[in-house]
Amino acid sequence: MKRFSQVMFLQLCILSMLFLPFSVKDEQLTAHDDQSKWITSLDEFIRTAPDLEGAIAGISVRDTSDTSLLYEHQADIRLTPASNMKLLTSAIALDLLGETHTFPTDVWIDGSIHKKTLHGNLYLRGSGDPTLLESDFAALAKQVKKAGIHTIRGQLAADDTWFDDTRYSIDLPWSDEDQYYGAQISALTASPNEDYDAGTIILEVKPGKKAGQKASYEMIPKTDVAQVVNQVKTVPEGGKKKISFKRSHGTNKITLTGTIPLKASSSKQWVALWEPTTYALDLMKRALKAEGIQLKGPLKTKQVPKKAKKIASHTSMPLSDLLVPMMKLSNNTHAEILLKELGKRVKNKGSFDKGLDVLNERLPAYGIDASMTVLRDGSGISPINLVSANQFTLFLTNIQKEKWFNTYVHALPLAGASERMVGGTLRNRLKEPATLEKVRAKTGTLSTVSTLSGYIETQSGKTLAFSILLNHLVDDEKGKEIEDRIVSMLAEDL
């Protein structure tokens, strides 16, 4: 009886194997076949894309629900991430500084006020706020007047010692020093408008009244720190509109050159200034004058003494809001300020080196092996930064559990969204139905480098983390076309 039962059991097992698994097996084969087709298509595209010939493409795709790799191509090769580096800096800033972190700017005095006269010095102390506008200096000046000061007998001094005095990250090219994306990093700086390109001014050039005349220009905001040499000529209607500028190294002498036709629209040039601390101090001086406050002493740069008293203060927007212009518009200065702020808050020194130490110590918690990366700055402007595509997608998947994740994702550019502070650097890309407003990702561009990493909602309802790192391109603009094609394939085929 026992042997019969064993035989019957074996027969039932065989029957189960013959009939029940076929449907499951068939479903698995179908899913595998579909994924194989997609993988084959993507492999073929990468193999045959003429603009990838001689280049290096690191590509990684993960299912965010379980971190499983769905696709990889040279995904463990360390490559230059360009501004995809901001994905790491912003996340660690949210993690360690917090969403509500702000940057105060204060006004202090070291003397007494008698009959509306300050017998002493007035100090402007910064702590890294990259969003200070001309109007914010005006508001501080109003507080100074409200404190009962109409005349300052001493100096107007700037204190930028919250960070160190190293103004550029180690690999910033000399040719980028006067560009808005290469602005100097100071704990006391100013921005010309609500894009918050800290440390820069805007020169808006307009045609003269007649051909042959010099063009006119407006400086935004007005500051005595910059000296402009205007060599732009007005040419007849239909002529060439081409304007460029050069700021002499170590100075704020800016030379404008080129031509602008009659009746042409204005041309805006963003110029990064030398020593943004003095730029901010000049705006404060002008704001005090506008309030009718007389300054008798000179402008200086020195630290607030311990005996000083605070009389005015301005608080920046919280980090959760600051990340929007930083990530949407890929603001390098914001990223480097966050890097130094991490160094200051965690290591008690606001330097590039200490900030990088913080990144290297914290990133392993999210799957990035610091021993397998090379990190040189917070913004990605260095061509020596090296991170692999697989590390990016693992990082992007692992941070989903954090309480600040929704803030992080909200700050990423949204594909095809036309509003500038929504679509950001992706507002004119990926506009087809399968990808429109379904991709949130960080762009990156350097000479010969184009990158795109982030998240996509596919037509099948999955959310994927992807990283596309393209290096050694002849034309980095072609890299964007390749990225968009790959992302479109992810959206439609998975």
List the structure tokens of 253: 């002498």
Which value, to the nearest 10 degrees, does the dihedral of the CA atoms of residues 20, 21, 22, 26 take? Answer: 140
Cα of first residue to Cα of last residue in the chain, in angstroms, is 54
**Which among 370, 392, 384 is positioned nearest to 86, based on CA atoms?**
392
Which value, to the nearest 10 degrees, does the dihedral of the CA atoms of residues 283, 286, 292, 298 take? Answer: 100
Task: Give the chain's length.
Answer: 494
Q: In degrees, to the nearest 5, what angle opens at C-alpha 336 toward C-alphas 100 and 306?
A: 70
Chain CA centroid to CA 105, Å: 22
Residue 366 CA neighbour count, 13 Å, CB half: 25
Which value, to the nearest 10 degrees, does the dihedral of the CA atoms of residues 452, 455, 458, 460 take? Answer: 150
State how far the Cα of 284 lies from the Cα of 422, in Å rounded to an integer. 32
Q: Is 473 helix (H, G, I), strand (E, B) or coil?
A: coil
State how far the Cα of 450 lies from the Cα of 470, in Å rounded to an integer. 5
Active site residues: 83, 86, 330
Query: Given 3-state DSSP classes, what are the helix, strand and coil percentages for the chain, each rounded to the nearest 5?
Result: 40, 25, 35
The CA–CA distances, whole Å, from 367 to 4, 92, 105, 171, 347 equal 55, 13, 36, 26, 22
Q: What is the DSSP letter of 301?
A: E
Alpha helices in 98-161 (DSSP H): 134-146
Phi, psi of 304 (to 5 degrees): -65, 130
For β-strands 117-119 and 267-272, DSSP reports them as unpaired
List the structure tokens of 351: 């330097």
